[in-house]
Chains A and B, each alone.
Chain A
Amino acid sequence: MARAVTNRRKAIVTVAAWLIAIAIFFPIFWIVVLSFKTEGNAIKDPLEVLTSAWTFDSYATVQERSNYFRHFWNSVILSVGSTVLGLIIAVPAAWAMAFVPGKRTKDVLMWMLSTKMLPPVGVLVPIYLIFRDLGLLDSRIGLVIVLTLINLPIIVWMLYTYFREIPGEILEAARMDGATLRDEIIHVLTPMAVPGIASTLLLNIILAWNEAFWTLNLTAAKAAPLTAFIASYSSPEGLFYAKLSAASTMAIAPILIMGWFSQKQLVRGLTFGAVK
């Protein structure tokens, strides 16, 4: 009897959960569908859209017309570049804070967090002017720097919460066994730190890839990543549904896949370790 009830309950929950999930996911599904249609078919009735012929034309057109891959490449350079640069700066800092905490470690961490609270628009004007004067507007190097700095607090925090979980006793044991500092770092600490560093890398690439305040305001054409490229479809090109969809699909697909792998890290990283 009890079993029948749980199964019925499970069936109801399943139906409800799937209906909601499909509703939430539908826009993404729809972009992918439209991206494989001709412009003429993409604006038809939904049912007619689904039954019409499939084609790769839009993908080819997007690349031909606007050199899509340059923007894609910009996005890759900006997100990976800023994340790697951020890690180079943050790993030693987080390391020191986790393993050699001082009286002020907590204050430093909190202060770093507070820089993240600064609304970007509050410093838009000076950054814009500094960039203009240094010739950094619409340059990839300039944006890599900005993205590194805005994500640095998150990187430090994430790494810190991971490093803090590495037990100190293991170091003790290694030292007892006669390990040198070099052995300690290479054979003991690095393997334990790598998962945390990898998660941080993943989450920050996602954040940098989707960043849409600085990338929109500091780029024009040359260094524009996908966020800015897609924004150029605002109008009137946005009415070409198939091309907009093809461009969008390519822009979100890589990050969507990475994102699915980093759900857990996302929670931890974006809540600064407050929810695990």
Chain B
Amino acid sequence: MVVPYPVHSEPERPLMATQHSRAAARLMISPAVLLLLGWMLIPLCMTLYFSFLRYNLLMPGMEEFTGWMNYRFFLTDPAFMDALVNTLLLVGGVLLITTVGGTLLALLLDQPFWGQGIVRIMVIAPFFVMPTVSALVWKNMFMNPVNGLFGHLFQSLGLQPYDFLSQAPLASIIFIVSWQWLPFATLILLTAFQSLDQEQLEAAEMDGAPALARFWYIMLPHLARAITVVVLIQTIFLLSIFAEILVTTGGGPGTASTNLTYLIYMQSLLQFDVGMGSAGGVVAIILANIVAIFLMRMIGKNLDA
């Protein structure tokens, strides 16, 4: 529903009042704008500045300008390539599982069945579990090879216990994160399904269109926008996955489950290399911006609608 802007629709209102209200409006908006501007610009400039310095917290007073050296070291470090690949796999893997799984699940939950309310509540629940809890619970209670539930299950099937987090660390983390985000995708896609024109679907059914054709030609195009939004918003959050890695594998073994966020965290707060960490931060910002541009276009379009 589009609501017309109230003030614009009242040209007969005296000009003075409008100017007055405009000034008031600016005053009301400015605290939010100034705070966000400060929050964005100050640290951003500092990151940029540090990224050109040799600056280690363990050697205070030794800071000096080094040009592009931090970037050269960061980008040529084999850990960077590993982290970049892991980041892409993590984001891509979770996106694939949650959008495909979420679409199918939303399709199912959109059908009439008994206990809809309770099922919905159960399905959405993982999204509200804090990342550290979900990561630790999966790590200890399920994936632990000795006492975890999967361990018990494997044993009862006569299989060797499998140490998920050391044998397949990245896949395990993808699994855990997917469990957290599947509810989000499902909920949004379900909302989109519910705004689908039922008459159109019924008409197609009457005309003898098979279920798959109805899904492909009517439902999927209707979902396109919601799917795009899910993909873009999740990408923003998934690029910054941190807690799940910190409490499960600590990025290891080696760099097997280190993503960009975690690599930069290690360099800046564990190795105290501010310069290098900042260079990494700038790289992360550039990568995130590429995603952000697409997302902003989507949402900006909606604002006009």
Q: B164 at the A/B interface (Cβ < 8 Å)?
A: no
A28 and B126 within 8 A (CB): yes
For the residues of B in contact with A, the DSSP-based class is helix
A210 CB contact (under 8 Å) in B128, B242, B289: B128
- Chain B, Cβ-Cβ closest to A247: B133
* CB neighbors of B among A19-39 (8 A): 20-22, 24-25, 27-28, 30-31, 34
Q: A276 at the A/B interface (Cβ < 8 Å)?
A: yes
A125 CB contact (under 8 Å) in B5, B8, B225, B277: B277
A263 and B120 within 8 A (CB): yes
A92 CB contact (under 8 Å) in B3, B31, B187, B282: B31
- Chain B, Cβ-Cβ closest to A210: B130
Task: Determine the chain B residues whose CB is within 8 A of the CB of A24 once the complex forms.
Answer: 122-123, 125-126, 179, 182-183
Q: A120 at the A/B interface (Cβ < 8 Å)?
A: yes
B44 and A117 within 8 A (CB): no
For the residues of A in contact with B, the DSSP-based class is helix
Task: Decide yes or no: A124 and B277 within 8 Å by CB, A100-B21, A263-B124, A275-B191 being known contacts.
Answer: yes
Q: How far is the CB of B15 from chain A (nearest CB, A)?
A: 14
User: Cα distance A255–B125 when bound, in Å?
Assistant: 10
Contact with B along A102-113 (1 / 0, CB 8 A): 100010111011
Task: Determine the chain A residues whose CB is within 8 A of the CB of B39 once the complex forms.
Answer: 115, 149
Number of B residues near A (Cβ < 8 Å) is 113
Which of B61-69, B89-97, B200-208, B290-298 forms part of the interface with chain A?
B290-298
A112 and B32 within 8 A (CB): yes
Q: A14 at the A/B interface (Cβ < 8 Å)?
A: yes
Task: Decide yes or no: A119 and B274 within 8 Å by CB, A99-B7, A238-B140 being known contacts.
Answer: no
B114 and A114 within 8 A (CB): no
A21 and B152 within 8 A (CB): no
Q: A178 at the A/B interface (Cβ < 8 Å)?
A: no
Task: Decide yes or no: A121 and B260 within 8 Å by CB, A28-B129, A226-B130 being known contacts.
Answer: yes
A209 and B130 within 8 A (CB): yes
User: Cα distance A234–B129 when bound, in Å?
Assistant: 16
Task: Determine the chain A residues whose CB is within 8 A of the CB of B156 once the complex forms.
Answer: 45
Q: B79 at the A/B interface (Cβ < 8 Å)?
A: no
Q: How far is the CB of B103 from chain A (nearest CB, A)?
A: 13
Contact with A along B185-218 (1 / 0, CB 8 A): 0011001100100000000000000000000000
Task: Decide yes or no: A123 and B130 within 8 Å by CB, A99-B7, A106-B303, A234-B136 being known contacts.
Answer: no
User: Cα distance A121–B43 when bound, in Å?
Assistant: 11
Q: How far is the CB of A12 from chain B (nearest CB, A)?
A: 9
Q: A90 at the A/B interface (Cβ < 8 Å)?
A: yes
Q: How far is the CB of B142 from chain A (nearest CB, A)?
A: 7
User: Cα distance A34–B127 when bound, in Å?
Assistant: 21
A117 and B36 within 8 A (CB): no
A164 and B3 within 8 A (CB): yes
Q: How far is the CB of A189 from chain B (nearest CB, A)?
A: 11
Task: Determine the chain B residues whose CB is within 8 A of the CB of A13 once the complex forms.
Answer: 108, 111-113
Q: B86 at the A/B interface (Cβ < 8 Å)?
A: no
User: Cα distance A238–B2 when bound, in Å?
Assistant: 52
User: Cα distance A42–B128 when bound, in Å?
Assistant: 24
Q: How far is the CB of B105 from chain A (nearest CB, A)?
A: 7
B111 and A241 within 8 A (CB): no
A274 and B240 within 8 A (CB): no
B43 CB contact (under 8 Å) in A30, A127, A210: A127
User: Cα distance A22–B302 when bound, in Å?
Assistant: 36
A259 and B188 within 8 A (CB): no
Q: B100 at the A/B interface (Cβ < 8 Å)?
A: no
User: Cα distance A251–B133 when bound, in Å?
Assistant: 8
- Chain B, Cβ-Cβ closest to A157: B299
Q: A194 at the A/B interface (Cβ < 8 Å)?
A: no
A230 and B136 within 8 A (CB): yes
A153 and B36 within 8 A (CB): yes
* CB neighbors of A among B216-258 (8 A): 225-226, 229, 233, 236, 239-240, 242-243, 246-247
Task: Determine the chain A residues whose CB is within 8 A of the CB of B40 once the complex forms.
Answer: 115, 118
Q: How far is the CB of A27 from chain B (nearest CB, A)?
A: 6
- Chain B, Cβ-Cβ closest to A91: B28
Q: A270 at the A/B interface (Cβ < 8 Å)?
A: yes
Task: Determine the chain A residues whose CB is within 8 A of the CB of B139 once the complex forms.
Answer: 238
The residue in A14, A116, A210 that gathers the most chain B C-beta atoms within 10 A of its C-beta is: A210
Q: How far is the CB of A261 from chain B (nearest CB, A)?
A: 10
B31 and A244 within 8 A (CB): no
A110 and B239 within 8 A (CB): no
Q: What 9 new A-B contacts, CB under 8 Å, besides A129-B46, A168-B4? A: A10-B114, A21-B123, A117-B295, A121-B261, A227-B131, A239-B140, A244-B137, A252-B130, A267-B188
Residues of chain B at the chain A interface (Cβ within 8 Å) = 1, 3-10, 21-22, 24-26, 28-29, 31-33, 35-36, 39-40, 42-44, 46-47, 50, 105, 108-109, 111-116, 118-134, 136-142, 144, 147, 149, 152, 156, 179, 182-184, 187-188, 191-192, 195, 225-226, 229, 233, 236, 239-240, 242-243, 246-247, 260-261, 264-265, 268-269, 274, 277-278, 280-282, 284-285, 287-289, 291-292, 295-296, 298-300, 302-303
13 A-B contacts (beta carbon < 8 Å): A17-B109, A18-B119, A27-B141, A89-B35, A106-B300, A118-B288, A122-B47, A123-B46, A125-B277, A152-B36, A259-B124, A260-B128, A263-B187
